[in-house]
Amino acid sequence: MKKLFILMLCMIFLMGSLNALDWSNGTAACWNFDESSGDLIDQINSHDGTLVNTPVQGATGILGNAYDFEAGDNDIVTVPDHADFDLNANGNTMSFSVWIKPETVNDGIFKKGDNSGVTSYQLGITATDIYWREQSNGLGIAPHGGISVGNWYHLVLTTDGETHRYWVDGVSVLNYSESISYTDNNEVFTIGSYYEANDFDGLIDEFVVFTRKITDQDIQDLYNGGAAVPCGGELDQVTLISPLNNSVLSTLEENFVVNYSAPSGVNLTNATYYIWFENGTIFNNSVVVEISGQSNQTNVSIDSFVFEDYVWNVLLWFD
C-alpha cells in the first residue's frame, strides 16, 4: 500500500482570503461611488464631495456603481480642504488607492491644488505611464505596463516624503527616491482632474485615501485578486478544515472539507477546488461546488491521487 503525502499550505487565493486591512488605521476617506444622486459620500469619515458639471452617477462599477467622468464636460468632484489630505500634516506620508476604467489614456485622476506656485500633488495616466507630480519637485513617472481603454485597473501610490511607490493591479511598477517637503496649499481635493484642466475621461470607483504608508499586504487586500473590496468591508473568509497540514494519507481518495463565511450583503455562489503537485503543476481544478448564502461548508471527495506531495486551496466566488 502506497502512502499519499498531501501538504496543505496555510495561504489562500486573495478572493477567498482573510482581510488583513485595518480600516481604523489611518483611513482618511473612502468613497464607493454607489450614489445614484446627490453628493459623493465618504463611507469612513465625513469628507463628502460635491459634483461639478454632473459626472454620470449609477454607471456599472468594479463593485456596485461608479461615476462616469467626461473630460470634455469638465466633470469633477471636489472635497473640501482638510488636514487629512495635506501631506505635510501627515508627516509627508500618505497612500492612495483607486479603481479606474479609462475611456482615454491621457487623463488626470486626482489632485490637491493646481500648478499655482505652492506645493500641490496630482496623479494621472498617459498611454504608457503613471505620473505623480509634486508642483515644486517635478514629475515621478512609472511605466504602467499597458493600461488601455475599456478595462478596470487598480492603481496605488504610496509616499513618505522620501520613497514613492506605484502599483498597478497588485504589482509594484516603480519604487523611486526623492526627498520632498510639502506645505499646505489650502485648496480642495479634486477627483477627476489633473493640473491645468487635464480631466479624467472614464469611470472611477472605490477610492481610498490613507494618512499612512500602507503595506504590501494592504495593497493585495485592496486589489483582492481583481475583485476589489468595499469601503470598510471584509473579504470572504475561507478556512481549510481537512486534510490537516502535512497529512499523510493511506488511500488514493480523500475528503476535502472547507468552511466559508461572507460579510453582510455578499451572496456566495460557488467554490472551485485547486490541487497542485508540489512543483506547481495543476493536478485537479475541475471540482466546482455550488453554494449559497453567507456561510456554508463543503465536503468533497477527490480521487486518483498518485504517490506525490500536493498543495491544495479553494477559490471562493460571490455576487
Instruction: Choose the final residue of a domain: 194, 226, 258.
Output: 226
Separation in Å, CA 275 to CA 271, 279, 309: 13, 11, 10
266 domain residue, yes or no: yes
139 domain residue, yes or no: yes
Q: How many domains does the chain have?
A: 2
314 domain residue, yes or no: yes
Query: 20, 48, 21: which is closest to 32 by C-alpha?
Result: 48
pLDDT at residue 99, rounded to an integer:
98
Residues 247 and 218 in one domain: no
Query: 191, 28, 52, 210: which is closest to 122 by C-alpha?
Result: 191
Residues 199 and 52 in one domain: yes
Cell of 281: 503543476
Separation in Å, CA 37 to CA 57, 267, 288: 7, 26, 40
Query: 185, 181, 176: which is closest to 118 by C-alpha?
Result: 185
Helix ranges, the chain (H): 216-223
Instruction: Choose the final residue of a domain: 204, 226, 248.
Output: 226
Residues 180 and 255 in one domain: no
Residues 10 and 63 in one domain: no
Q: Over the chain (319 residues), what is each successive 10-residue block's mean pLDDT?
A: 36 34 92 97 96 96 94 92 89 94 91 71 86 68 76 94 89 84 83 82 97 93 87 70 76 84 70 82 86 84 84 75
145 domain residue, yes or no: yes
Q: Which domain holds residue 248?
A: 4-16+235-318
Instruction: Choose the final residue of a domain: 158, 192, 226.
Output: 226
pLDDT at residue 217, rounded to an integer:
86
CATH code for position 179: 2.60.120.200
22 domain residue, yes or no: no
Global confidence as pTM: 0.71
Residues 281 and 170 in one domain: no
Residues 105 and 204 in one domain: yes
21 domain residue, yes or no: no
pLDDT at residue 11, rounded to an integer:
30
Query: 290, 296, 218: which is closest to 259 by C-alpha?
Result: 296
Residues 204 and 239 in one domain: no
165 domain residue, yes or no: yes
pLDDT at residue 119, rounded to an integer:
63
303 domain residue, yes or no: yes
Residues 131 and 259 in one domain: no
Residues 249 and 200 in one domain: no
Residues 250 and 206 in one domain: no
pLDDT at residue 3, rounded to an integer:
32
Residues 73 and 198 in one domain: yes
Helix ranges, 151-275 (H): 216-223
CATH code for position 314: 2.60.40
Residues 160 and 143 in one domain: yes
